[in-house]
């Protein structure tokens, strides 16, 4: 498995819009600098392993194709959009995003918050089992778009 980061998004506070950034510092046990989870402020801040969330660009394309629901960049509320990475297979596995060592914790299944936030009926159903991955950051470093993602 080898893919890459296609986009990076952070939100400064719970409910704040996701901002696209070109690079971000990933800090072990904390998250991405500038993101709500780094400051322990997100909806799932009390959940173990929410340092980082990822979603496949291919899943977003499938949601638009299969459900006619276009999801603009960042509205999915995940930090990293990947390309060429089967995220569901990384649950319980270690992987690298460039120099950053991560461990997949659980699938990031869509929640009612996402659907209400987007005000798009059917988004929750469309993202079931393709809503991404929650991961723990074990070793930090810098992430940029185009950074390689590889299983360890």
pLDDT of residue 27: 96
Distance separating alpha carbons of residues 43 and 94, to the nearest angstrom: 25
Whether residue 4 contacts residue 20, with contact meaning beta carbons closer than 8 Å, is answered with: no
Distance separating alpha carbons of residues 95 and 85, to the nearest angstrom: 11
Question: What tens digit of pLDDT does each residue of 74-126 get?
Answer: 888 899 999 999 999 999 999 999 999 999 999 988 766 665 666 667 777 88
Pairing label, strands 52-56, 80-83: parallel
User: 32, 43, 30, 29: which is closest to 5 by C-alpha?
Assistant: 32
Q: 10-14, 42-46, 110-114, 126-130 — which is least confidently predicted?
A: 42-46
Whether residue 110 contacts residue 44, with contact meaning beta carbons closer than 8 Å, is answered with: no
Which CATH number is 101's domain given? 2.40.33.20
Global confidence as pTM: 0.89
DSSP 3-state of 58 = helix
Q: CA 53: distance to chain centroid?
A: 3
Tally of domains within the chain: 1
Distance separating alpha carbons of residues 149 and 79, to the nearest angstrom: 14
Residue-number span of the structural domain to which 136 is assigned: 2-151
**Which backbone phi and psi does 104 adopt, to 5 degrees?**
-70, 125
User: 115, 104, 113: which is closest to 55 by C-alpha?
Assistant: 104
Inform me whether the pLDDT recorded for 9 exceeds 60.
yes
């Amino acid at each position: 498995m080898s893919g890459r980061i296609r986009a990076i998004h952070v939100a400064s506070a719970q409910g704040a819009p996701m901002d696209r950034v070109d690079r971000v510092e990933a800090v072990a046990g904390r998250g991405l600098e500038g993101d709500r989870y780094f400051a322990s402020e997100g909806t799932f801040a009390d959940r173990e392993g929410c340092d980082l969330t990822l979603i496949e660009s291919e899943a977003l394309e499938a949601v638009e194709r299969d459900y006619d629901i276009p999801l603009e960049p960042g509205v999915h509320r995940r930090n990293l959009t990947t390309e060429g990475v089967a995220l569901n297979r990384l649950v319980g596995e270690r992987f690298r995003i460039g120099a950053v060592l991560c461990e997949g914790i659980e699938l990031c299944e869509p929640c009612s918050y996402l659907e209400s936030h987007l005000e798009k009926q059917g988004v929750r159903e469309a993202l079931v089992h393709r809503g991404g991955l929650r991961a723990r950051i074990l070793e930090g470093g810098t992430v940029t778009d185009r950074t390689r993602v590889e299983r360890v």
